[in-house]
Amino acid sequence: MSSRILKIIGIARHDWASMLAVSIATIATAGLTFTLHNYGGLQPLELLAFNQLVRWRPQETEPEPRILLITISEQDIRLQRHWPFSDQVLAQLLSKLQAQQPAVIGLDLYRDLPVEPGHKQLVAQLEQPNVIAIQSINSLTGTPAPPNIPPERIGFNDIPKDPDDVIRRNLLFAENEQGTLFSFSLRLALAYLEKQGIYPQNSESRPDSLQLGSAVFLKLQPNSGGYQNIDADGYQILLNYRQLEKVARQVSLSEVLNGKIHSNWLKDKIVIIGSTAPSLKDVFATPYRLAMENERMMPGVVIHAEMVSQILDAATGKRPLFGFWSQWAEILWICSWIVSGSILGRLALHPISLVLGVALGLGVLCGTCLYLFTNAVWVPLAAPGLGFVLTVGTVITYRSHQARQQQQIVMKLLGQNTSPEIAQTLWQQSDRLLKWGKLPGTNLTATMLFTDIVGFSTISEQMNPEALLNWLNQLLDAIAQEVLFHQGIVNKFTGDGVMAVFGVPSSGLDASKIVKDAQGAVACALAISDRLEEMNQNWELLGLPTIKMRIGIFTGSIIAGSLGGKNRLEYGVIGDSVNTASRLESCLKDRQCTNCRILIGEETLVHLQGKFKVESWGALALKGKQQMVNVYRVLGS
């Protein structure tokens, strides 16, 4: 095999064009990822990832101590036998709560119309300065606040939903025809914080942002975190849920009316009154939904408690608000994972290492996002994850396609110089071939077969070169077909003969394989003999020369590997067994009993297991051999 072919292999496996193609594939994958990311195609996946991060991260171990929830359950509705409750029931409830000196009371119930009896008593209770009522943002189609309550004690209870109907955002301010409206949760939190000496102000660093204590409430943008085109109207922040089960202590309306609560549960607390009865359908989906049994929803009053708790914790420095990276930081973040996928796809040469690399990469990505999320920083997870996997897949697909093309080209080129089996071996070991410039020798036990035409020199004198070549190729092609059919390989053509090997390059020292190779070589020789008889008959009819052949077969140890130097290299087999097979073919040339004489050594005979008829020629002294060799002629099957 010439050095030119080695260079072809080297170029096919290590050229700059391959690196350029991988770079183009990486850039194309990055373009697709950013297109999907920028136009919202990955937002559903990012929101699912947000849900999972909420479930994975550590939760607060204790309920919110500053909030008490007064819940209206199905049992409360049955006991009152009426819905909505009369104003008298709510007035009685508020009166009992006020007696325990709460900091602020939030009524998460619409009471824009009287429900007699008891309307005057309820109006009197709603006039208390620590009572916050609710209304809808839409003043035309929504529900207004109870009459005669000043705007500073009214908050809207509308909760923004994400496209998948999950609650992940807290709307603090909104606009309508009346002007700027405060949310119900913000009104409750501000009323409580004022008693702690914390007042709302504009941030010095961000004049357009609300600041409570040291916390700056940055307005949510349409592309913050994993969002890509969210409706960010108004003044929104990302909702930082406290925990799954008990956000705050809960008592039922009936328990309060019956005086079955402790006074210290109420004093200086934020009390929120709202419904939890499923029949009232004031429930919402949250990131915990799939983690909850039977996919239970979270009541609106509980979500308001989550929002209030988040504002209080941020203002007092207990829990940070969610932050987000800049757009450029997110681009670099996604690009880094795309490049990592490209590197993995190029370096992972084994399927196991590829699978482990992808699993490790995704694990590091999820772990990093979870760590950041736990520290209140939401960064995209789906976009870098998809970019990473797509890039690995694209590069691997390109490499597989390139490898198939390279193999086809190189195998075709190698096949012009040697057999397909040897070409396959050279391809499989091309890395070592390129590194060391040769293939290391391999010890094998194989069966060698040599053929030669009797009197070829005389025949060549009688034919012109072109006719001689065509005639000879017919014979060599027939021999090669039989060798390949009997699982051997044609190592080389020796002018008018063939050197074939049975047992390389994949056989070793397995006894059953050695037997199979020896029997295959002898069967091949008999098949060549039969083909020769047919060709002689055809040649005689065509007026072409008929011939006789000699075949020598011997089984023994050989070394298979590359032979030659850097200017010329070929795959060859060497060893005493090769020489012996060659000498068997050429010994006693005058004893040509048939048109095709087949001689084997005893080392081959022992593997034939009586499947072939032979006659002994005794121990013969072969040319160049010091020891006698027991020779046998094969007669047939």
Asked, for residue 308, whether it belongs to a domain, the answer is yes
Residues 15 and 107 in one domain: no
318 burial level (CB within 10 Å; 0-12, 13-18, 19+): exposed
Domain residues for 591? 433-636
Residues 12 and 78 in one domain: no
Least confident range from 124-138, 374-388, 457-471: namely: 457-471
Query: In the listed set 288, 316, 344, which residue is the last one of a domain according to the structure?
Result: 316
Least confident range from 1-15, 328-342, 456-470, 496-510: namely: 1-15
Residues 168 and 193 in one domain: yes
Asked, for residue 577, whether it belongs to a domain, the answer is yes
Q: What per-residue confidence (pLDDT) applies to 5?
A: 47
Strand-pair category, 613-620 with 629-636: antiparallel
Query: In the listed set 283, 316, 349, which residue is the last one of a domain according to the structure?
Result: 316
Q: What per-residue confidence (pLDDT) applies to 161?
A: 94
Mean per-residue pLDDT, 134-140:
88
Alpha-carbon distance 41 to 46, whole Å?
10
Q: Which of 118, 92, 67, 80 is nearest to 257 (CA)?
A: 92
Tokens (6 digits) for 539 = 């040649």
The predicted-structure confidence for 507-536, as pLDDT tens digits, reads as follows 556 788 889 999 999 999 999 999 999 999
Asked, for residue 194, whether it belongs to a domain, the answer is yes
Asked, for residue 24, whether it belongs to a domain, the answer is yes
Q: What per-residue confidence (pLDDT) applies to 9?
A: 47
Q: Are 432 and 440 in contact (CB under 8 A)?
A: yes
Q: What per-residue confidence (pLDDT) applies to 26?
A: 81
- 11 pLDDT band, cuts 50/70/90, is very low
The domain tally of the chain equals 3
Asked, for residue 571, whether it belongs to a domain, the answer is yes
Q: Is the pLDDT of residue 325 over 50?
A: yes
Residues 515 and 406 in one domain: no
Query: In the listed set 287, 316, 345, which residue is the last one of a domain according to the structure?
Result: 316
- 12 pLDDT band, cuts 50/70/90, is very low
Asked, for residue 567, whether it belongs to a domain, the answer is yes
Q: Is the pLDDT of residue 89 over 90?
A: yes
Residues 274 and 375 in one domain: no
Residues 470 and 376 in one domain: no
Q: What per-residue confidence (pLDDT) applies to 559?
A: 83
- 427 pLDDT band, cuts 50/70/90, is low
Residues 241 and 191 in one domain: yes
Q: Which helix (H) or strand (E) holds 317?
A: none
Asked, for residue 491, whether it belongs to a domain, the answer is yes
Following DSSP, what letter does each residue of 283-309 receive, concatenated? EEB-TTGGGSGGGPPEEHHHHHHHHHH
Q: Which of 509, 420, 495 is nearest to 457 (CA)?
A: 495
Residues 159 and 226 in one domain: yes
Asked, for residue 427, whether it belongs to a domain, the answer is no
Q: Which residue has the higher pLDDT, 121 or 296?
A: 121
Q: What per-residue confidence (pLDDT) applies to 4?
A: 46
pTM: 0.67
Residues 410 and 547 in one domain: no
Mean per-residue pLDDT, 67-86:
91
Which CATH number characterizes residue 471's domain? 3.30.70.1230
Residues 11 and 136 in one domain: no
Residues 359 and 447 in one domain: no
Count helices and strands in the chain by DSSP H and E runs: 19, 22
Mean per-residue pLDDT, 335-345:
89
Q: Is the pLDDT of residue 134 over 90?
A: yes
Mean per-residue pLDDT, 156-184:
93
Residues 376 and 519 in one domain: no
Least confident range from 65-79, 229-243, 300-314, 485-499: namely: 485-499
